[in-house]
């Protein structure tokens, strides 16, 4: 009697060998799908991190120009720094204003890419505005034309 129970137990184990292999394959498939999802989320995160970096750089470059304008406050208050939207780096010229504009736009192009453009609005009551435009199409749902306007008192 004991022998029959042993045979039936071993017979049951033999019939279940393939079932555990299918379970392992299904678990591996679920794991692979999960890992692909994590990889996709990582790619989106990297794109959006670059977009955030570009926006931060636009703010930093705007404030660097404001610092240059504060160092030359007389010219800034007389609207000497006013510059219509330009996407090309102007020549350095012989004045401090033209040199500051040249360095700012060159830094903008070097940091934000060749599609970056800048505008320096005329100062009204010692309040000036700087606008930076760049291509942000790499980000998730990114708009090809991003604009950041920063205003500061000189």
For tokens 């990889």, the residue is 39
pLDDT-above-70 percentage for the chain: 84
CA-CA distance, 148 to 119, in Å (whole number)? 10
Interval 16-35 mean pLDDT: 86
| The predicted structure's pLDDT at residue 138 | 73
The pLDDT tens digits of the residues spanning 108-137 come to 999 988 999 999 999 999 999 999 999 887
| The predicted structure's pLDDT at residue 153 | 92
Angle at 95 between CA 91 and CA 96, to 5 degrees: 100
For tokens 């977009």, the residue is 51
Rg (alpha carbons) of the chain, rounded to whole number: 31
| The predicted structure's pLDDT at residue 30 | 96
Interval 58-62 mean pLDDT: 95
| The predicted structure's pLDDT at residue 4 | 56
Helices (H), the chain: 2-15, 17-71, 73-77, 96-112
Does residue 12 or residue 47 have the better pLDDT? Answer: 47
CB 144 within 8 A of CB 135: yes
Does residue 59 or residue 140 have the better pLDDT? Answer: 59
| The predicted structure's pLDDT at residue 98 | 93
pLDDT at 3 over 70: no
Mean pLDDT of the chain: 86
């Amino acid at each position: 009697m004991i022998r029959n129970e042993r045979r039936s137990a071993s017979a049951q184990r033999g019939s279940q060998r393939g079932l555990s292999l299918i379970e392992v394959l299904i678990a591996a498939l679920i794991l692979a799908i999960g890992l692909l999802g994590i990889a996709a989320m990582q790619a989106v995160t990297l794109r959006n991190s670059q977009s955030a970096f570009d926006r931060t750089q636009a703010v930093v470059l705007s404030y660097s120009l404001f610092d240059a304008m504060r160092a030359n406050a007389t010219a800034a208050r007389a609207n000497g720094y006013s510059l219509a939207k330009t996407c090309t780096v102007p020549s350095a010229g012989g004045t401090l204003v033209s040199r500051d504009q040249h360095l700012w736009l060159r830094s903008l192009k070097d940091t934000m890419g060749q599609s970056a453009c800048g505008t320096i609005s005329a100062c009204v009551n010692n309040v000036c505005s700087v606008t930076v435009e760049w291509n942000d199409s790499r980000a998730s749902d990114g708009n090809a034309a991003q604009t950041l306007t920063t205003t500061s008192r000189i």
